[in-house]
Amino acid sequence: MKPIVDCRLYAFVDTAYLQGRAPEVVAQQLCDGGADLIQLRAKTSSLDEIRHLAEAILPITRHANVGLVINDHLEIARAVSAEICHLGQEDFFDAGHRHVLEVRRQKSEVRIGLSTHAPEQAQRAVAAGADYIAIGPVYATGTKPSAKPVTLEYVRWAAANVTVPWFAIGGINLQTIDEVLAAGAKRVCVVSAILNAQDVAEACAEFRNKLELSQNSQTQNAVTEFNF
């Protein structure tokens, strides 16, 4: 997979949104649409089921040079040789960990992403050595209906203060992504707006295009300011 710092579009194979579709088919569609990372999220599945899902998806992501992220379960990520494991605050800090070196057996092992919902959590996650952090939920989202939106203010704060790669997440769709990017985000996670689309690959490509246009605009503005 490409370095996390170069990743822009973080997509999901979330079993809550599969609607009877085979996870490996959805994973292929996400790869075809231009996802850089794909997280396997299966909140109601058993550990054995999650491992089988990961084993079905991994050959597809590897072939496409896309990183596979296992949500919540570090041992499964290790077992299938996934590139990344994503953990929530409760899975990492509430479990007594203070640094990723405490859960990483060797330097080259599974990279760790951490969820954050406030500036102090982001600072703590960066200090803990997270390879990336998630900033959100930016908007209310059906994926986590009980989570309070952090709003664009947290996105602006992250753009000014976070020193590791970070992804805005939560309620981001084709109607809201422009203001998220305008607030300073360079990377986004998208769940339902892609998985609920009739054509997953096409929806993924639309988000990819938005991100590339924003990146090109930022680069052009930087060149203009430098020349000026």
- The SS3 of residue 14 is strand
Q: Is 42 exposed, middle or buried (0-12, 13-18, 19+ CB in 10 A)?
A: buried
pLDDT tops 80 at residue 219: no
Instruction: Say which DSSP state 108 is in.
Output: T
Look at the alpha carbons of 171, 215, 164, 50 in this order and tell me if their dihedral is positive or negative. Answer: positive
Task: Report d(CA 150, CA 89) in Å as an integer.
Answer: 15
The token pair that represents 111 in the structure block: 């990279």
pLDDT at 223 (0 to 100): 47
Whether 153 has a pLDDT exceeding 50, the answer reads: yes
CB 116 within 8 A of CB 122: yes
Q: Where residue 227 falls among pLDDT bands split at 50, 70, 90?
A: low
CA-CA distances (angstroms) from residue 49 to 52, 54, 80, 188? 5, 9, 13, 27
Q: What is the pTM of this model?
A: 0.93
Average pLDDT on 123-143 reads 93
Could you tell me the sign of the dihedral formed by the alpha carbons of 147, 35, 55, 26, in that order?
A: positive
Pairing of strands 9-14, 188-189: parallel
pLDDT category at 104 given cuts 50, 70, 90 is confident
Q: Is the pLDDT of residue 127 over 80?
A: yes
3-class secondary structure, 137: coil
Contacts of 25 (CB under 8 A, 6+ apart): none
- Scan for tokens 């985000």, then name that residue: 185
136 pLDDT band, cuts 50/70/90, is very high
Query: Which residue do the tokens 């370095």 mark?
Result: 3
Inform me whether the pLDDT recorded for 228 exceeds 90. Answer: no
Q: Are 71 and 88 in contact (CB under 8 A)?
A: no
Is residue 108 pLDDT above 70, yes or no?
A: no
Q: Around 74, how many Cα atoms within 13 Å sit in the side-chain half-sphere?
A: 16
| pLDDT (average), residues 166-177 | 96
Domain 4-227 CATH assignment equals 2.170.150.70: no
Tokens of 83: 């590139």
Per-residue pLDDT reduced to its tens digit, 28-52: 999 999 999 999 999 999 999 999 9
Percentage above 90 pLDDT, the chain: 85
- Token output for 103: 């859960």
Please, which pLDDT band fits residue 173 given cuts at 50, 70 and 90? Answer: very high
Per-residue model confidence as pLDDT tens digits over 54-95: 999 999 999 999 999 999 999 999 999 999 999 999 999 999
Q: Quick one: angle between helices 119-127 and 151-161, nearest 10? A: 30
> What pLDDT is attached to residue 141?
80
Per-residue pLDDT at 145 exceeds 90:
no
Q: What is the mean pLDDT of the chain?
A: 93
